[in-house]
Structure 1
């Protein structure tokens, strides 16, 4: 688990400062966490979301500073924990408390299915944005636009993440840092949408 990981254009050698842009751009998650915490105004769900975004910041920063296998796992797990918690909270707030806990295994099944079909681990999240936006639009809830915008930003960030290794010859720093910046905005938008729906 301590194996060295070199998966991005920006990193060319081991060392804490081997990915300065990838490391610093994780601050977008810290900013999102602080903003969500302030929006929460004591609401426990808001504080939970802010804490989970903070966890994404810590794990992602550790990964891009240390570039080890265990840090990569921590990075992925922190994102998955946020997504699963959010799916459960969304279903609880917008559909049914009784069925909320079914949402997490259902999302995991969707993720496994899209991954097996070659869609990668993040296609399920992109589908989720579309479903959430459609559900709210059907209910004439103005917050559907939050998910439409967040979904568009996530699609762009996902494309930039995929392009990182392909543009190394032209953009030595790569494009992965843009994935962080855009997803900081995405996590803020979806958290804000959930908090605005709560009393």
Structure 2
């Protein structure tokens, strides 16, 4: 692992990182319970968020041999799903789930076969998702503030997490203040912030005939 916190014995392994992973589970459940609009799209979104949290808890906690796979699959799927939701909005039509399922399978498979290729494979999915979101941001002015807030949370979380990696300037393996844990919490907040954007679609403009 490259997330600084010392790994101890017992179920929780890295207790701070494992416990803060529950933020994704809570947010996922909140999405499923609190957002009744959006139909199946929001249900899938909430389920992927919750599954990301479960995978992260197992990865940072008991950490069985298959925990890396359980960690990566829902996380990559969530990123791909957000990108496809943005692309669906831009295209003005619903895209097949295969658009986010297949990239997830390919990226995770490549990551499992060649660990060195993990950053490139999963980074490619993230890059495509970011590209689709940028286009959505440009095309949907009313969504910009919400998307910008989510991006700000992710950026701050990623910066803290990067500086806190093992050997990094903010890394203190024995501290209860773990940068990777801050990443968990801020990323979960970003996911929650983005929820109103998920499943939103550009409405068609109807021309109403003028009375003569």
Q: What TM-score, normalized to structure 1?
A: 0.75
Over 3 Å counting, the alpha-carbon distance change for 1:146 and 1:54 in structure 2 is: same
Aligned CA distance change for structure 1 residues 91 and 145 (closer, same or farther; 3 Å)? same
Distance 2:186 2:86 in 1: 21
What CA distance in whole angstroms lies between the structure 2 residues aligned with 1:38 and 1:168? 37
Q: 1:17 maps to what in 2?
A: 12
Q: C-alpha separation between the residues in 2 aligned to 1:146 and 1:129?
A: 15
The structure-2 alpha-carbon separation of the partners of 1:146 and 1:27, relative to structure 1 and needing over 3 Å to count, comes to same
Structure 1 unaligned spans of 5+: 1-5
User: Matches of residues 14-53 of structure 1 in structure 2 within 5 Å?
Assistant: 14-41=9-36, 43-53=39-49
**Matched residue of 1:13: which SS?**
coil
Which protein has the larger Cα radius of gyration, Structure 1 or Structure 2? Answer: 2
Q: What residue in structure 1 maps to residue 175 of structure 2?
A: 172
Give how far 1:122 is off: 4.7
Quote the offset at 1:168 in angstroms. 2.9
Whether the aligned pair in 1 keeps the contact of 2:92 and 2:202 (CA below 8 Å) is no
Over the aligned positions, Cα root-mean-square deviation in angstroms equals: 3.4
Q: CA deviation at 1:121?
A: 4.2
Distance in 2 (alpha carbons) for counterparts of 1:28 and 1:144: 25
Provide the rounded CA distance (Å) in 2 between the counterparts of 1:99 and 1:197.
12
Question: Which residue is 1:143 aligned to?
Answer: 143
Partner of 1:153: 153
Q: How is 1:123-138 mapped onto 2 (pairs within 5 angstroms)?
A: 125=126, 128-129=129-130, 132=133, 134-138=134-138
Q: Secondary structure at the match of 1:147?
A: helix
Q: Does 1:188 align with 2:192?
A: yes
Q: Which whole-Å deviations, capped at 9, do the CAs of 1:78-136 have from their partners, x for residues lacking one? A: 101111222222212331437667854789999x9xx97x879458637744652x434
SS at match of 1:150: helix
Task: State the number of aligned residues.
Answer: 190
Q: Bigger CA drift: 58-67 or 135-144?
A: 135-144
Could you tell me the TM-score, scaled by structure 2's length? 0.71
Gaps of 5+ in 2: 111-115, 204-212
SS in 2 for 1:142: helix
CA distance 1:184–1:48, change in 2 (3 Å): same
Structure 1 residues 123, 84: CA separation in 2 closer, same or farther (over 3 Å shift)?
closer
Residue among 85, 90, 107 paired with 2:86: 90
Whether the aligned pair in 1 keeps the contact of 2:90 and 2:139 (CA below 8 Å) is no
Query: 2:155 and 2:127 mapped to 1: Cα distance?
Result: 7
SS at match of 2:79: helix
Shift of 1:160: 1.9
